Amino acid sequence: MLHAFIDESYIKGFVYLTTAVVVDDHQLTELNRRLDHVMWRTHKAHGIDPGTELHAQQLFQRSGEWTCFRDMPAAAHATFRNALKNITSCGARVFIRGVREDRLIRRYVTPHPPHSIALQHLLERINDYAAILGERVSVTADEVQDSAHHDARAATWATVGTPGFRPSTLPMIDLPIQWRGSHLERGLQAADLAGFIYLRKRFHMTTDARLIQAIQQSRDAIFPAIEHESVWNP
């Protein structure tokens, strides 16, 4: 059995991404152990609660539960990078699919929601990967307000197939999707970290040399784990 943990990241009105961290049973145990260890080391060094969520934006920006790093950007970036290295080293595979929302709106009068499009494309690729391995996939996603809409869409895909040029009934995907709070699942936190740094590297512009270096180092840490990545430009 494979386990896919899915999180979304976006720049509102510009681009929407969905990211999945895919692991088998052994890798899931190892992922949880390694990220818990990252948090234990951070607790020992900086006093933060070891049960704190590895929330990508808060950690990177040193806000929310990560304000203890407010005056320590290097320590925050090192923790972020260390978590990504452990995601990679446990054998996890990362899938990233996105859509340029600005171009979608310009091209179509009534387009499907960008989250739905990105999720469809992501599940298609995970299904193809699982088929090669001969494994079924359980899917856990970060809870969202419109989860019922996504469940209905996924049920339709499983019955009549996904729309577009890669139609699939997603035979390797176990539905329905399990919607969980990201604070409950290290796998969802891993997907959040990977998607966030991909978004920062590819789409955010900055002239701060130290920030550019931190983003590049974190991107390099997760790069070996990326199995597939693509952003649709309608």
Q: How far apart are CA 231 and CA 44, in angstroms?
A: 39
Read off the pTM: 0.97
The residue extents of the domains of the chain are 2-232
Q: Shortest CA distance to 72 belongs to which of 204, 210, 222? A: 210
Quick one: CATH architecture of 2-232? 2-Layer Sandwich (3.30)
DSSP notation for the chain? -EEEEEEEEEETTTEEEEEEEEEEHHHHHHHHHHHHHHHHHHHHHH---TT----HHHHHHT-GGGGGGTT-HHHHHHHHHHHHHHHHHTT-EEEEEEEEHHHHHHH-SSPPPHHHHHHHHHHHHHHHHHHHHT--EEEEEE--TTHHHHHHHHHHHHHH--SSSS----TTEEEEEEEE-GGG-HHHHHHHHHHHHHHHHHH-----HHHHHHHHHHHHHHGGGEEEEEEE--
Segment 77-127, tens digit of pLDDT: 999 999 999 999 999 999 999 999 999 999 999 899 999 999 999 999 999
Segment 40-61, tens digit of pLDDT: 999 999 999 999 999 999 999 9
Which residues lie closer than 8 Å to 233 by C-beta, 6 or more apart? 100, 103
Amino acid 107 reads: R
Segment 178-226, tens digit of pLDDT: 999 999 999 999 999 999 999 999 998 888 999 999 999 999 999 999 9
pLDDT at site 164: 87
- Predicted confidence (pLDDT) at residue 146 exceeds the cutoff of 90: no
- Predicted confidence (pLDDT) at residue 13 exceeds the cutoff of 90: yes
pLDDT at site 20: 98
On the question of a cis peptide bond just before residue 176, with omega within 30 degrees of 0, the verdict is yes
For the chain, the average pLDDT equals 96
- Predicted confidence (pLDDT) at residue 158 exceeds the cutoff of 90: yes
Q: How far apart are CA 125 and CA 130, in angstroms?
A: 9
Where on the phi/psi map is residue 59: left (φ > 0), alpha (ψ -120 to 50), or beta? alpha
